[in-house]
Chains A and B, each alone.
Chain A
Amino acid sequence: MSGTMPSKAVLDTLSLIVGPNEVLTKKEDLLTYAFDGTAVLNTLPGCVVFPRTTAQVAAILKYANEQKIPVITRGSGTGLSGGSVPDLDCIVLCTVRFNQILEVDAKNLTLMAEPGVITLKIAESAEAVGLFYPPDPGSMRISTIGGNIAENSGGLRGLKYGVTRDYVMGLEIVTATGDIIWMGNKCVKDVAGYSLKDVFIGSEGTLAVITKVLLKLIPKPKTKKTLLAVFDRMDAAAETVSAIIENKIIPCTLEFLDKITIKCVEDYAKIGLPLDAEAVLLMETDGHPAVVEEEAKQMEQIARQHGARAVSVAQSNEEALKLASARRTAFSALARVNPTTILEDATVPRSELAKMVNFIQDVGVRYKLKIGTFGHMGDGNLHPTFLTDEKNHEEMERVEKAMVEIFEFAVKLGGTITGEHGVGLAKKPYLENAIGKLNVEVMRQLKKAFDPNHILNPGKIFDK
């Protein structure tokens, strides 16, 4: 891993565009942008630039396109599929200083922001006027909204409220050639032409750079109730989830933690999770008080019918918040066990959950691997996490084989290889198998149309 510096002419031009203090070239800086939140992947960029306006982004891209220099867009670098890991000697375009909230429109229930705004700040700004921005990815305290849109991030509330895509009403983007395009508006209905913005949501920085976002907000639910169900069998938790959905209840959260994850989260958060349980389900329902009351009761009943050994109700908002926050730390907390933590997000239809959970357990036994599983069970999105050591090559080979089996089984059950983390580099080898050759070919054509010189996040999702 060693890069050659971009030429002086390139650096001078970038400095002219954004100002000399907004271009990083020292090795001690570059080393800290060589990775994102994904394990193992690591490449040194050529430089890092911090634009603060759309015009600056357009100027950077126009120049990079002329010079054919790869540009990797990055927010806070919390991605989990290597989507913002640099290309050798590329320009990292970092949006964290392009970070103002431009408008909260309480009449139209919208929020306009620059791409570097932190997701939590969006949620808080909405809440300040009694509104609600539901998508809440695990990293929301530091992830950027631009990154959320580029990855179409999910979160704990996907089951009832959907994912980031469902809250994007408009986007301003800059194409690889430096063209600035605005797509969408504040209208609830709009069928004027293709819904182009949807192409860019989840495009992982390969089609354009997002420079402005218009988000949909909704009224804040009046009340919520949080329950914790404790199980002695993993598949009992999975069956409970399937039964809740089957009973036509859509709670806002149905989160699952297995034994290893429970131990790690408890070791960090110390909130009194049952250390001897095989699984817990964190269940939350929100909305009108009467409905919340009834749904909570029903969920408790269903959980008990399916073998929950205990179901407790959070006594205060504070307690509920602690449970949800603790759940959010699950992935990082799992790093307590072994040096390397490799997270997957295989997703299956909810009726197949128990099969998938059992299969993951079986794979762990067969390959002699330590796997911690947690995830958004309510939407079928599981996070089997390999607790391993990147320096142990023999074990890493087994991890690789186990991963392939899990992906193949998920696809066989009618599921997908990634529910919310994106393809990036980590899942690129498995994409074609999962969605088919033709699908990937259409994507390639689309990329060619917006990025003819292949400078935007090259080599991510699929190869040229």
Chain B
Amino acid sequence: MDATPSKNAAMNLPLVPDEPGLLRPTGTGSYIKDLDYSVVQQCMHCGMCLPTCPTYDDTLLERNSPRGRIALMRSIADGNLGVTREFAEELYFCLGCLACQTACPAGVNYTELFEMSRAEIERSKVLDNPKRSFIRGITIKTIFRYPSLLHRLGKMMYVYQASGLQAFVRKSGLLNFAPKQLRDLEPLTPKVHARFSADLIKQTEKPEVKSYRVGLLTGCVQDLVYPDVNRDTADVLLANNCEVVTPRGQYCCGSLHGHNGEWELAKELARKNIDMFPIEELDAIITNAAGCGSHLKHYDHLLYDDPIYSAKAKDWSRKLKDIHEWLAEIGIRPPNCASEKLDVTYHEACHLCHGQKITHQPRQVLKAIPGLELREMAESTWCCGSAGVYNITQPEMSAKLLVRKMKHITGTKADIVATANPGCMVQLEAGMRQNQSDIKVIHPITLLAQAYRREKTEKNAPKG
């Protein structure tokens, strides 16, 4: 099905409001109580979300379901429940995968209910303790706020890994002295690259024939761990007649902040990113990371009451496109290269299929590649357990989801699992290492870029 725009306006019915303005976080001093009450009322507790919720599926407890969580939010709005520690822990047990939002016939805006609840939890400080505040202080509030810091840290990680120090630490048994939680996380550490996106992509790159001009968002994790995916994205855009503008020193999109209750920081980062791009000169602003895209598209909601930025944010959200979505929109040029037999299965990042309702476009990309056969896995839209920082904050549930996902991936006997989100890629790569599987984890756009490159080398190769 096409993700056609909502027909609300044409229908003359007061359906779920499309317009931003659900949030009025200035009145009572409570994010939840400030919500337009009809948003919680929108949930008519029919239960259709339950079978699609990974946490409910595991525990079969109502509080671990979207319907249950919304009931708790409503109780808070009604004054029947305070922002308790139990409520806070529940909202951090939620993956934020948004499968419920796909399942919900009533059109409940779970994303904003979820983000507002976490913001309320942070404001009420029920989960605060020195360790948590310290970790949040250096990660969310510092490293992911200032790009230069993030890059410097990335370089240090690179030296640590490339120098053999990481291998030495792993072998030495030094890790045995680390707390168990840290020990379990260590294998998840992704490999950081020597050169980041700015070293790989020029500020402006021009195609042979120019039909469009687009901006490219390089992301944080993508930039450090998978900078090649950014290069591949630029190549694919060039091959499809798009001039690519990649501003230097881009900020984190703020999804990490929005999802973790740092509403004001999320706004600050949104404003900074908007300032970086010449929005009016671009046909589209392209992201290749599902988690970022899902958040980036809602800058209009985030900044709806900002006197200076609300208009710009509207333009931004209108032009913000996931790379697969953009390619499908302008028509993918099929690579004209020899086919190379490859079996690929596709894992749908939650924030692509649920967050942005983009499901067939990545498949279209894969199917455009000569020789590539798409083998669907069972439960392709079920969360892999990465869920932002969930694999760090909720390792047990995350591990269960990874096992489930690995079973479905290996079940397809594919050579490659394609997925379009750096978080999922890190998680699935860890899964492959744990399972000693040689299935490769690759971004769909990388596969397409490789095909375009083969096209060039084949053309240059002597015939015969």
Contact = CB atoms under 8 A, between A and B. Distances in A.
Interface of A: 1-2, 24, 26-29, 31-37, 39, 50, 76-78, 96-97, 118, 120, 139, 141-143, 260, 263-271, 275, 329-333, 335-341, 389-390
Contacts of B6: 267
Contacts of A333: 105-107
Nearest to B85: A28
A398 B87 CA distance: 37
B51 A24 contact: no
B1 A270 contact: yes
Contacts of A96: 60
B438 interface: no
Given A76-B50, A331-B46, A336-B107, A32 B7 contact: no
Contact of B1 (A76, A120, A271, A337): A271
Interface in B1-48: 1-2, 4, 6-8, 10-11, 13-16, 37-38, 41-48
Nearest to B87: A28
Contacts of B105: 264-265, 268-269, 329-333, 335
A2 B78 CA distance: 13
A31 B71 contact: yes
A450 B63 CA distance: 33
A336 B41 CA distance: 10
A289 B407 CA distance: 39
Given A268-B107, A270-B4, A142 B15 contact: no
Contacts, number: 127
B182 interface: no
A85 B16 CA distance: 28
A77 B62 contact: yes
Given A32-B72, A267-B7, A37 B41 contact: no
11 contacts: A29-B62, A35-B45, A77-B45, A141-B48, A143-B47, A267-B15, A332-B104, A335-B42, A335-B44, A389-B41, A390-B41
- Which of the four size classes fits the interface of chain B? 35 or more
A31 B80 contact: yes
A141 B50 CA distance: 9
Contacts of B8: 267
B376 to A, nearest CB: 14
Query: Chain B interface mostly helix, strand, loop or mixed?
Result: loop
Nearest to B67: A32
B229 to A, nearest CB: 30
B343 interface: no
B42 A332 contact: no
B39 to A, nearest CB: 9
Given A2-B80, A260-B13, A269-B105, 13 more contacts: A28-B90, A31-B75, A76-B47, A142-B47, A275-B10, A330-B105, A331-B105, A333-B106, A335-B44, A335-B46, A335-B107, A336-B107, A339-B37
Contact of A142 (B43, B51, B81): B51
A2 B75 CA distance: 12
Given A31-B72, A32-B71, A139 B62 contact: no
B166 interface: no
Q: Which of B8, B48, B63, B75 gathers most chain A CB within 10 Å?
A: B48
Contacts of B1: 270-271
Contacts of B44: 37, 39, 332, 335, 340-341
B68 interface: yes
Interface string B101-138: 00011110000000000000000000000000000000
B86 A275 contact: no
A39 B41 CA distance: 10
Interface string B72-97: 10010000110010110010000000
B11 A33 contact: no
A123 to B, nearest CB: 13
B41 A29 contact: no
Nearest to B71: A32
B42 A339 contact: yes
B18 to A, nearest CB: 11
Nearest to A338: B14
B72 A270 contact: no
Nearest to B60: A96
A33 B60 CA distance: 12
A139 B47 CA distance: 8
User: Which 8 A-B residue pairs are closest in the complex by CB-CB distance?
Assistant: A335-B106, A332-B105, A32-B68, A329-B105, A32-B62, A339-B41, A333-B105, A28-B86
A337 B15 contact: yes
Contact of A27 (B4, B16, B38, B81): B81
